[in-house]
Each structure stands twice: as C-alpha cells, then as structure tokens.
Structure 1
Amino acid sequence: MDGKATALRRTTTARRWAIDLAILVAIGLLMGFLGPFSSEHVPIVGRYIYWMICMVGGGLIGIVADEGLRRRIPSLWIRTLLVVVLVTPVVTMHVFWTERLMFGGHADWAVFRHLLLQVCPILLAVMAVRALVWRQLPARIETRTLVVPPLPEAEAAFRRRLSAKRRSARLIAIEAHDHYLRVHTDAGAELITLRFADALDELARAHGWRVHRSWWVAADAVEEVRWRRGTGEIRLVGGLTAPVSRTHGPVLKAAGWL
C-alpha cells in the first residue's frame, strides 16, 4: 500500500511540474512572438531563445520558491505576492546575465535597476497565471435525499379517510381548502372533510414535509425544487406543482433539495 501511495505521489508531482513547465514554455513563446521591451529588433531565432531562457528559467526560480513556502503560507495569493517580492532580484539577475551573454555589453548596474522594473510585473503575471491554474475551486457537493418507504402504520389513520379507490394509492400531496383537504394521489385527487392541522398530526410519522401554510408533500413524490427570491416551487410526480414558502424552505434545505 505504501509503495502504491509513493508511486501515486511521484506521478502527481511529475504531472504538476510538467504542467508548470508547459505554462512557462507557452508564455515564453508568447513573449518571443510579441517582442516587448525593444526585443522585436533582435533576430527572430535569438529573440525566441532569449525569452524562453528568461521565462522558463525565471519562472522555475519563482516556482521553487513557491513550493518551498507552500506549507508555511497556505494562502495562495499572499504566498504568490511574497514570492514575487522575494525572487524578483534573483530573476532579474538571471535575465541580466542572459542578456549580457547573448547580446554583449558591460555589467551596467543602472541597466540592472531598469530591468528590475520590467521583471517584477512580468513575474507577477506569470505567478498569477500559475496560481489561477492551481487554485482550489470550491468543491461542488451533490446531495441526494434517500427516502425510506413509510411504515404501513404511519399513514394508516389518514388513509382510512380516503375512498376505497385511493386508499392504497401512492400519496403525493395534501392541499388545504378551508375545512376541506384535496388529497392528491397517483389514482387521482379527492376532497375530504378534515382540518389541515389534524391531517398533519396523522401524518407526523410519514415521510413528507409541510412546505407551505396549506401544502404537505410526500418526500418520495418530489422531483425538483426551484427557489427564487425567497419563495419556491416543488414539482411532484404526475406534473403537480406546490408552492414553497420562506418559512418552510429550511425543511427542504435540510433534506438536500436547496
């Protein structure tokens, strides 16, 4: 098991470094194409070689520093800014000597100071691109409500109030109308004489929720919940829809529907 974990860790590390290198090469090619800071006057081959050395070499310096600080400074963007501040002089020295060796000239420290102002924003951009690539996006958690079929006795008292046709049908929802209830089942709907509060008492052990002052829905009948500006709507089996009030919305949220 340890061997597999070590191999996986090595593979992940190699993949990470390969992606980092690909990013630096891509940026180096882009800089060679654009030819900023008067480098467009350099012959094309020399220009691309120069920018590849500067971007890949300077970028690797920044990446090594970032990896070294990762455990001590977990905040990605704070660490990125700190790395830029710390390694800009080192990267500038790398660029300075690359320029001297490729194009000649004396070691003029005034040129070094001028390069410092050029290297800093480029290094910041490179490290910011890398940070965007490796940033951890908020995890998207898929929730699903697992509904256990209700116990036979949980709905027994309420079902005895229904007609024989619907007594054994699938219960979908209950809708209050004054002192009457419209009971929705997969065998159709019917009106019964009962207060909504009494119906809720009889269904207290059933798998369902009160979602509105005048609606109760069976949990296994819910297909979709839509929520907008403090109110919602439930789509139930059979094409039936029921409103969701702000007061009863937390019940559905706790069940994983919102």
Structure 2
Amino acid sequence: MQVLIVAPRFWGVIVAVSIVLGVAGPFDTYEHLALAPRLAYWFATALATFLAGYLSIGLLFHFLLGDVGNRPVRIALAGLTAGLPVTAIVVLLNMAIFDEPTTATGDILTLYVNCSLIAGAVTVLFGLIDNGQPAARTASTPAVSSPTVPLSEEPSPGSAVAAKARPKLLDRLPPHLRGDVTYLSMQDHYVDVHTEKGSTLVLMRLADAIAELEGVPGLQIHRSHWVALDAVAGSLRRDGRLFLRMSDETLLPVSRSWFEAVRAAGLA
C-alpha cells in the first residue's frame, strides 16, 4: 500500500478515471451535482473504493486463499469479496452527499452486485495478464547465474563478452544508481533493486528482474529475495530461522524451499 500511494502512475490513473466519470456523470450524478462537486465526488469514490478493494483482496489472498486452487477462480472470488467494502464506501458517500444510500441503482443489493461484478472483472483481467508473464523460478530450479566479467571492464563492441558485461536490469535504474547489483526484494508489484550506489523501486516481476541479471552470480533465497553472491557478508540464525547478512548490514530471510540451494552455494 505504501509503494502504491507514492507511485505517480497510480495517481494519474485515479485522476483520469475521476475526470472521465465526472464529465460523463453516470448513475444520475450528472443530474444531481454540478461539474466541480461531481468531479470531487468521483475522485473520492475512485480513490476510496480502489484502496478498500485493493486492501481486502490482498488480505484475502494472504490469509485465506494463498496458492490454493485455480488462479483465475481465486482472483474472481477475491474480486467478489472486494464488493463488500466497496459497496459500503459507496453507500456512505451517497448518504453524506445525496442523503440516500443509492442513486440510480434502486437498492443496496443491486449496488452490491454492480460493485462486485466490476471488482471481479478488474481483478480477473489483471490476473489473466499476470498469468501471461513468465512463471517465477521454483526451489527445484534455483536462480543461480553464471559469473561474468566485472562491470568496470570495457569489452569490445559486438563481442560475446560485451553482451553479458552489463545486466539489462541496470537500464531500468536512474543513472546515478547504476552499479553492481547487491540484492533484489519484492514489494507488491515492484522490485526493490539494491546496488552498491543505492536502491530504487522498479515496476516488474521478481522473476523478470532476475532474468535481466543474466551473467551476475547470484541466488534466489526466498520467494521475495534474490542476492548477489559477492554481496553476502555472512549468515546467522534467529529463532531457528536462517538469515543472510548483506554488505549493507541488511538481513534477508532464507526460506526452507531455498535452504538447500543456499547451503550448496556455501552461504550457510
């Protein structure tokens, strides 16, 4: 949620949706409100309902659904569940502005059905798009990449070594942060890319970020973490769990699924 609300793209989408709905004035809002209040109403509705739906879907997946069952079905169920808080927010906003819980929908049940169908359709759409992306690596195929020449070397253009000398992932980073990658951490839909010069968030999947580090010796140690072997400063155990200590003193957890790969790499 924290990553989401500071993303310019998120606010751009919310503002764009608010303008379209505010100008169009669906659900009788065109007749009930002037342009400025109508824009404000749809901005508040779009922002509040999206955040509530996003949070409820995230909690449902984390605590109940997880990886059980067919992914499109799970996403559809999550979307339908999100209809509950979304409907509640719409009802409260309508009561505050129109002195009635619904406008054009006629009753709360119809409003809930509409909100649930929209939330379900949107989440299924995103799920289908996400399924079309390359699958993440599993514990049976740990993401260990082969060594390559240091970034400081300047191989001749067009040579086979030149193609591997610079990871593609660096092209996604601001120029002042482009250096040796130390580790990657997944945060929602973003990858927190750490280099020797700092860190930044990149909107992509962890598996795709790892693929763009081809040639950098590293290892995935958790479903949310990848480390460069040269950046691991040591390891320690806390409450029976294994952690890797990185060069910047960050502690990253090692999951049981990747423990054997970590031990095989000599890190534990």
Query: Shared topology, TM-score over 0.5?
Result: no
| Bigger radius of gyration among the two | 1
TM-score in terms of structure 1 length: 0.40
